[in-house]
Structure 1
């Protein structure tokens, strides 16, 4: 059996915009189903995302939806980070450059004690990303 873990991001009305942005950064195929696709006709939520994902050949995968309007939702402050770890510094830098547009830079990308390239930012959708070059460490 194989298990894949995919971050599933929750939004309040801007999941489509976020997913389109992540596809522009990482490439891949975008799939979106709206509340209208499931028969919800309330114009306030009809075009909101009930299921969305971006899946790229390079291994990138993320899911998102717009939280049901009747449910409480609070994004909180750094409840999690999304880690994008790679092996190609130029490719990782390209992702960083795109994610950084309109972002709050928490740690500028550059060499760190644990990686030849590491950076952290909170993108314009409030999602905190950690990008770094994978380094092999001995098992505990």
Structure 2
């Protein structure tokens, strides 16, 4: 048996922009279907919003997103800054983080540089006790990402 877990973001009118952003960071292919594509009248308020969207990139990255019907505006989204790190501890009110692990620091740094554009750095990407590279960022869509490099923990 095989199982795949995919992060599915519930956004408030920004799914299209988020999917375009993640495609620019991770590459791959994007799929997008609007409520109008599935038969909602073109003049309905949500017709142009995303009912199904996905970015899938080589190497296993996949993320889905949609616009919650009837919801819009930044006031209904999670705001950057609700996750902080202090003295090696993470404090947050968010129910989840998205974790991306790469094989090399160069690979992870490319993703980091993309995700930090317009975002809030929670912890800079740097070597840690468990990884050659670890960092946390809350992106411009309010999603907090943990990026790290696969590696052995230090034993000193």
Paired residues, number: 135
Unmatched tracts of structure 2, length 5 or more: 79-92
Task: Provide the residue aligned with 2:40 in structure 1.
Answer: 40
The residue that corresponds to 2:116 in the other structure is: 100
User: Could you list the per-position Cα deviations for residues 68-122 of structure 1 after superposition, in whole angstroms to 9, with x for gaps in the alignment?
Assistant: 227xxx5454221000111121011011001100100000100111111000000
Q: Find the counterpart in structure 2 of residue 7 from structure 1.
A: 7
Aligned to 2:58: 57
Query: Is residue 2:104 matched to residue 1:109?
Result: no
1:87 maps to which of 75, 79, 103: 103
Distance in 2 (CA, whole Å) between partners of 1:18 and 1:122 is 13
Equivalent residues of 2:100, 2:148 under 8 A apart: yes
TM superposition score normalised by structure 2? 0.81
Give distance in 1, aligned partners of 2:95 and 2:48. 27
Find the aligned partners of 2:45 and 2:146 in 1 and give their Cα distance: 34
Tell me whether 1:130 sits opposite 2:146 in the alignment: yes
TM-score (norm: length of structure 1): 0.90
Q: In 1, distance between residues paired with 2:14 and 2:6?
A: 19
Cα separation, 2, equivalents of 1:122 and 1:37? 31
Shift of 1:135: 2.8
When the two chains are superposed, the root-mean-square deviation of aligned CA atoms in Å is 1.8
Distance in 1 separating the partners of 2:148 and 2:23: 19
Alignment partner, residue 86 of structure 2: none
CA distance in 2, matches of 1:136, 1:16: 38
